[in-house]
Amino acid sequence: MTGSCGVLSTLVLWALCSLQSCQAGAPSSGNGNVGGHLNGTLLFDSPGHGGSHSLRNCSCAAEIQDCDEALANLLCSCRTVPRSTLPPGGLRMQGGGLTVWVREQWVLRELLNGSAVQDLRLSACSHSPFPPAQPIALFGLQRLRLRAAHQGAAHPEQILNIVTATERGRGKGRPSPSSSTAPPFLVSFLDVALLNGLSPLKAYSVSSPPVPSLAQHFPHLPLPPQTDPDAQPQPQQDCLLTFIY
């Protein structure tokens, strides 16, 4: 299913092929209150440590309840990173989970937008809702967990797994004819209003031609900058675009 396809007019067809690529749902396990990846990275903007001017960067060996900064400061190894030193959209997480507690919008816009992260947990910690905004772009995203600030929200916790056709074929034990091709380069667009927990998470994926021709046809699509070798797909690597809204 991940053949190469150079013509953009086939996008719609590919969309039909790829409709099954996402598996969204509510979490099935009962540990909804416990946030954070064990031994993963935890980032949050902290009123106690400079608020909108800095970020706390923690490594936690224990699971920390979402938005409990006092506990994070106590149980994790944390340091303060000045906002001015953060490269915009420059997070490059090679394996390992990333948890981000979001109080202020800049964390989404400046820190996350354009970042490469495989396993992301985003928790809203502000009690005022997130206003409608442009979506943020994430590269390489395979697993997303969103947690709303209000326990009483209609959809307090939502999960999305992005499964590529190559992986699906492997799981079924019958390799598809194209199983030798590289897995696609993953690009996701996330509507951050989902963090309000008011609507069920929906997603669809579209297989697309490799990034260079994609950028040609959609010049304003936030694709990885050419200057960033870490986040660059191979020139001939197909893309899988996932819209999460």
User: Which residues sit at the interface with ligand NAG, rule CB under 6 A?
Assistant: 38-39, 41, 57, 61, 81, 86, 91, 108-109, 113-114, 133-134, 136-137, 222
| Smallest distance, ligand NAG to C-beta of residue 63, A | 10
For residues 46 and 126, what is the distance between their CA atoms, to the nearest angstrom? 11
Cβ nearer to ligand NAG, comparing 19 with 61: 61
Q: Which of 41, 40, 65, 66 is nearest to 55 (CA)?
A: 41
Cβ nearer to ligand NAG, comparing 87 with 212: 87
| Smallest distance, ligand NAG to C-beta of residue 223, A | 9
The edge-to-edge listing of strands for the beta sheet with 115-116 is 115-116, 136-139, 185-190, 239-244, 203-208
Cβ nearer to ligand NAG, comparing 46 with 113: 113
Measured from each CB, the residue nearest to ligand NAG is 134
CB-neighbour burial class of residue 48 (10 A; exposed 0-12, middle 13-18, buried 19+):
exposed
Cβ nearer to ligand NAG, comparing 191 with 238: 191
For residues 15 and 194, what is the distance between their CA atoms, to the nearest angstrom? 23
| Smallest distance, ligand NAG to C-beta of residue 82, A | 10
Cβ nearer to ligand NAG, comparing 61 with 182: 61
Number of Cβ atoms within 10 Å of the Cβ of 18: 22
| Smallest distance, ligand NAG to C-beta of residue 193, A | 10
For residues 165 and 175, what is the distance between their CA atoms, to the nearest angstrom? 10
Cβ nearer to ligand NAG, comparing 137 with 153: 137
| Residue 5 backbone dihedrals phi, psi, to 5 degrees | -140, 115
| Smallest distance, ligand NAG to C-beta of residue 149, A | 18
Number of Cβ atoms within 10 Å of the Cβ of 228: 15
| Smallest distance, ligand NAG to C-beta of residue 81, A | 4
For residues 219 and 55, what is the distance between their CA atoms, to the nearest angstrom? 32
